[in-house]
Structures are given as structure tokens and as C-alpha cells.
Structure 1
Amino acid sequence: MIAMPVTEQSVVIARPPSEVWNYLTVAENWPSWEASIVECEQLTDGDPGVGTRWRGATRILGKRFERVSEFVEYQPAKAGVSKSVEGQIGFTASTRLEEVDGGTLFTYRVDSESDLGGIFGKLADPIVNKAYSRTVRASLDNLADLLITES
């Protein structure tokens, strides 16, 4: 079995889980804090929930990847899981929020198909994953700073 590249990072945000969740579930907010996301919009009408679809574009090492993802799990102010349903890279993205002293522990995890090799070359998988992990780390720190200033 081939291991899928996984990126997982966490940050404590000095806001309650409900406020963090409300910010995260607005598709248009993602490019303001997640450095690899260049555009994001909700495709389906209404409040987000299981079945809600988002379209977006991500830039990794200068290459743009367009995708459509869909929520397959949705627990307000607690957790969400979305999976790619269209695009060049298959992935599952998970968000988890836990109330902790000082605010909310936000954990963001992306499980990608190991097929980045078809795009960058198989030997590039570890390099791409490491670069993306650094981007996610910086993005989570940016999100924590952003939500403090928006209070």
C-alpha cells in the first residue's frame, strides 16, 4: 500500500470555537489566511453542511491546481471533512476545533493522493510535502493573528 502524503498542523487561536468556525465556513475567507489558496467560493446555496460544494484554486510551488470539494462530515464548531470531487489532485481536508485554555485548538489536516509525482515527478513528493507543510504552518499562525485583530 502506498502512503499518502499527510500535512497536519495545529494552532491555538484566542477566540471561542464558534467564532473560529464561523470564520472558517465562509469560503471567501480562506484566501485571506491560507497562503496556498488563491481563490475559493461556495457553489451550493444556503448554509454549509454535508453536501456543500466549494470551488477553489491552490498554488503549490508555483503550480496552480483547480478543484471542487464537498463536505462529507460537518459538525458545527467542532469538525469538518471535505473531499475533492473534481480536480488534478485528490485530497481529503479535515478541520478540528477543541476548546482549550486561551481559546480554540485548531487542527488542519490534508491527506493528498501520492500522485503529486505525476505532476512534479515522483522524487519530488517529499519536497512538495515539506514545502506545503511549511506553508500550512505559516497560514495557521496567520489565521490566529488575523482573528485576534478582527475581535
Structure 2
Amino acid sequence: MNVITSDTTITRPPDQVFEYLADASRLPEWQPSVEEASAEPAGVFEVGVKGSERRRTPGGVQTIHWEVTECEPGALWAVQGTDGPVRAHTAIALTAVDGGTRVDYRIWFEGRGIGKVIAKLATRGARTEVPESLALLKQHLEVAGG
């Protein structure tokens, strides 16, 4: 398993960072390849919530379904893909630090069948996109005010 990790510090309290990043409808604001996203039920942050997103990938726009696997408001948010040949696993840990929140982001891809090859491509793309996404997250929460 090839895990991509990245981190940033945001000058906002953990609960505010969590509410923003766990809100599926806001994904397009800080993840450049996401065109739209939603969760059912909207605004609920707990294990078992299901969501979907339309994401631009090298193979074209794909609809990806996911489920929340871990949730500790203000501290941890984790989701995993639920269908398709490649399933992303994402875990975001939040830690209060002097003046804000440290965000530790981890993502890895599980490939099934032909998805094993695609997972390698997804990993390569994530190496660039994850730091860009965290920079946008920081920008939206600090400059734009979330």
C-alpha cells in the first residue's frame, strides 16, 4: 500500500476546520478535480453517512461513491470508496496547535482487477493534488473565512 501524506496548519480552531472539510458540498471549493459532491443526509457528520462526487480523472469525469468510516468531530474524518475498480481511502486528522489546527491528510488507493493499474496512476496524481488541495483548504478557511 502506497500512502500519500501531506499536512498543513490552519489558523482556525479544529471544530471550524472539521465542519468545513467534512461538508461534502464544499469539496469542489478545495479539491480541484471535484466538480460537485453531496452526502445523504446533508449536514450529518457520523460513521455510515454515504456520499458521492463527480471528479475529473485521467479517464474522464467519474462519479465516485463513498462512505464515512471514522468520525470524531473536530478530530478525525475518514471515508472510503464503495464501488468501482479503484477505491480511495482517505483519513484526515486534526490536532489543536498554538494558533490553530494541524491537518494531517492521508490517502491510499485499493485496486481490484484492472484497478490495480489504475490505482498506481491515481497515486501518482494524488502526490500533486493533495498538497494543492490542502493549500486551497487553508486559503478558504483563512482568507475567505470559510
Confirm or deny that 1:118 pairs with 2:114.
yes
Residue from 94, 119, 143 that aligns with 2:137: 143
CA distance in 1, matches of 2:71, 2:63: 23
What is the TM-score with the length of structure 2 in the denominator? 0.86
1:57 maps to 54
**SS in structure 1 opposite 2:46?**
coil
Q: Which amino acid aligns with 1:130?
A: R
Q: Over residues 83-115 of structure 1, what are the superposed CA-to-partner deviations in whole Å (9 max), with x where a residue is unaligned? A: 211234212111110011231111121110145
What is the TM-score with the length of structure 1 in the denominator? 0.83
Gaps of 5+ in 1: none
Of 56-65 and 5-14, deviating more is 56-65
CA distance in 1, matches of 2:118, 2:56: 19
RMSD: 2.3
Q: Over residues 15-54 of structure 1, what are the superposed CA-to-partner deviations in whole Å (9 max), with x where a residue is unaligned? A: 1101101111211101111112222101235622011111
- Equivalent residues, number: 145
Gaps of 5+ in 2: none
Shift of 1:66: 1.7
1:91 maps to 88
Contact 2:46 2:68 in 1 (8 A): yes
CA distance in 2, matches of 1:123, 1:22: 31
Q: Percent identity?
A: 27
1:81 maps to 78
CA distance in 1, matches of 2:47, 2:87: 18
